[in-house]
Chains A and B, each alone.
Chain A
Amino acid sequence: MPIHDQSYRRYGGNRAPQGRAWTVIATAGVKHMLRKRMFLGLLVFAWLPFVVRAVQMYLAANIPQMSILAPTAQTFREFLEQQGLFAFFITIFTGAGLIANDMRANALQIYLSKPLGRMEYIAGKFAVLAFFLLLVTWLPATVLLFVQVVFAGSLEFVKTNVFLLPAIMLDTGIETIVLGMVMLALSSLSKSARFVGIMYAGFVLFTQALYGVVFVVTRNSTFSWMAPQSSLQQIGDLIFRVPARYDTPGWATVLSLSVVVGAAAFLLERRVRGVEVVT
């Protein structure tokens, strides 16, 4: 006779209220990524520019001859733009398999048979990507601002550039939403994470090349809205109050990014379902 009943038993414990399953998905996704050594290496590498900038701020604050290196709002804009490269790779590394792998393993039926909706599933997946994107954009930029205050020993820079903290938040927030939604939408289109990665890179490069061709032909930079990457640069310039690099009006840039996010949301709505109907 067994000393412990290994038969089926009823459960009488607590259950979490509905609407929290996305945190389970997000936590599992983040842990899954952090188990990959190569990805950890990428994260560490993505923080190297932060170290360089911190050293720059230290030198500017402590060595008078180096005051030429003193940070401005432009410094933070440039820093975030540099981080864009890492954001690109993080997006591919983290996001490509988020939905594609679930599609390959038919996991959507498992997920959606639990008490969570499609929105919650997407929110959980988005949170994974957003976490890592913000980890290499918003977090280092914000910490850099803090580092500047510590090294300078005064709040003068922050007071002069009081818009910087919200600007960092807004810029990285917009970037995260656009990159995250585009990647999730592409990830829902295929069962192969590798293919999704290629599609994403293709999308970014193709739209950029398309704008480049149009620019060469028209010599008019108002068409920058054609490339989401250019639109992100343009909106970043506007948020950080630095001279805009394109002639595209702000509303057109916002509109183009909204269309991209809307299209991605539409695709996700069509693709993330418990059943795939082929008619």
Chain B
Amino acid sequence: MNDLPADTVVQIQNMSVVYGTEPALHDVSAAFPRGAVGLLGPNGAGKSTLLKALLGFVKPTTGTMSVLGLDVATASFEIRSRLGYMPEIDAHIPGMNAVSFVAYCGQLAGLPPVDAMQRAHEVLYYVGLGEARYRNLETYSAGMKQRIKLAQALVHDPDLLFLDEPTNGMDPKGREEMLDLIRDLAHNKGMNLILSSHLLPDVEYTCDYVVVLNQARVATVGPIQELKGTSGSVYELRVKGDRIAFAETLRAAGLTCKAWEEDIMRVFVPEDQGAQPILNLAARDGVQVRHLRPSVPTLEDVFAQAVGEE
């Protein structure tokens, strides 16, 4: 794991969470710096559990957590008054229209009724629901429900936002708008946020820093640019013949290799070695290289390397 940054909003040390006998998180240590941090991992990696533990919904069996410099175990209420949470699942308060719901959430967070109502109107406009703010929530589409969840998380002006899969169920246009909103909050409004997602492009577009979880553990942590830059070179490779056997050869030689498109592989070569190791192995095995092109490392490459995806 990288060195922990000094200016952090969330700090977790040796935290484990167990559901029944199943470990949901195992000995997790991570620091989330200010700004936009992506919490990345495949489904079931423990991302939502981590957020719920930070909110105090789930009690860890071991370890310590602090949010905004406050201990989660002892200052849960104070943390939640400075926190906005957008849950993964559809969640609303039944029988309300959007503006009543958001104002109600503002009041629950301690805002006076008049201020809460004013803020509700403002954040509903901000998330793009200004025209639909008097509609009953039960008539909202999936995309609108995502936006309303963001609005209720923002209404009390939190210092830190937890966004759990914020683009779930959204159409491409809505997804793009949601990501723009999140990016705007993080980069123009100075909001600290943790974006939990299994969608790499979402995290790559909105976040500067990433914590990758895999199988209940932290797989990698660091600034996205740094992680992409230090992973060596990446090559797109297409060969004629037994592609799977050659992939095994590459792996046996210590190179990371993963399937990309139908017949193209992405091969990760350690720094300063260039494509020569690939060509040498191809020549040794008599494999014909049809396509070999340097590529730009993506977050997906970082993720694949971190979780050991093949």
List residues of A whose CB falls within 8 A of some B CB: 6-11, 13-18, 20-21, 24-25, 28, 32, 97, 101-102, 104-107, 109-117, 273-275, 277, 279
Contacts and interface: CB of A to CB of B under 8 A. Distances in A.
Contacts of B109: 15, 114-115
A10 B155 CA distance: 10
B27 interface: no
B81 interface: yes
A279 B94 contact: no
Interface in B286-301: none
A189 to B, nearest CB: 17
Contacts of B58: 274-275, 277
B125 A6 contact: yes
A110 B119 contact: no
Contacts of B260: none
Interface in B154-204: 154, 156-157, 184-185, 189, 191
B104 A28 contact: yes
Given A8-B189, A24-B107, A18 B77 contact: yes
Contacts of A32: 95
B228 interface: no
Nearest to B85: A113
Contact of B111 (A13, A25, A116, A275): A13
Given A24-B107, A274-B55, A109 B89 contact: yes
Interface string B79-90: 011011101011
Interface in B51-99: 52, 55-58, 76-78, 80-81, 83-85, 87, 89-95
Contact of A18 (B90, B104, B110): B110
A16 B110 contact: yes
A102 B92 CA distance: 8
Contacts of A116: 77, 108
A94 B268 CA distance: 63
Nearest to B88: A109
A168 B212 CA distance: 62
14 contacts: A7-B189, A8-B122, A10-B189, A16-B111, A24-B104, A105-B92, A109-B89, A114-B108, A115-B80, A116-B108, A274-B58, A275-B57, A277-B58, A279-B21
B77 A13 contact: no
A24 to B, nearest CB: 5
B285 interface: no
Please name the 4 residue pairs, one residue from A and one from B, whose CB atoms are nearest each other, closest first: A279-B20, A274-B57, A11-B157, A113-B85
Contacts of A106: 87, 89-92
A102 B189 contact: no
A113 B94 contact: no
A19 B289 CA distance: 69
Contacts of B55: 112-113, 274
A13 B157 CA distance: 10
A278 to B, nearest CB: 8
Contact of A113 (B83, B93, B111, B191): B83
Contacts of B78: 18, 115
Contact of A8 (B83, B107, B115, B126): B126
B123 interface: yes
B90 to A, nearest CB: 6
B91 A11 contact: no
Contacts of B56: 274
Nearest to B190: A10
A271 to B, nearest CB: 14
Contacts of A7: 126, 189
A113 B90 CA distance: 14
A277 B53 CA distance: 13
Chain A CB within 10 Å, residue with most, of B21, B90, B93, B154: B93
B149 to A, nearest CB: 8
A24 B108 contact: yes
Interface in B16-57: 19-22, 52, 55-57
Contacts of A6: 122, 125-126, 130
Interface in B95-148: 95, 104-105, 107-112, 115, 119, 122-123, 125-126, 130
Given A18-B81, A18-B110, A106-B87, A11 B115 contact: yes
B81 A15 contact: yes
A86 to B, nearest CB: 24
Nearest to B127: A8
Contacts of A101: 94-95
A83 B181 CA distance: 55
Contact of B93 (A8, A9, A105, A275): A105
B76 to A, nearest CB: 8
B110 A11 contact: no
B19 A114 contact: no
Contacts of A107: 91-94
Contact of A110 (B83, B110, B152, B157): B152
B85 A21 contact: no
B3 to A, nearest CB: 31
B72 to A, nearest CB: 13
A242 to B, nearest CB: 42
A24 B108 CA distance: 6
Contact of B57 (A9, A18, A112, A114): A112
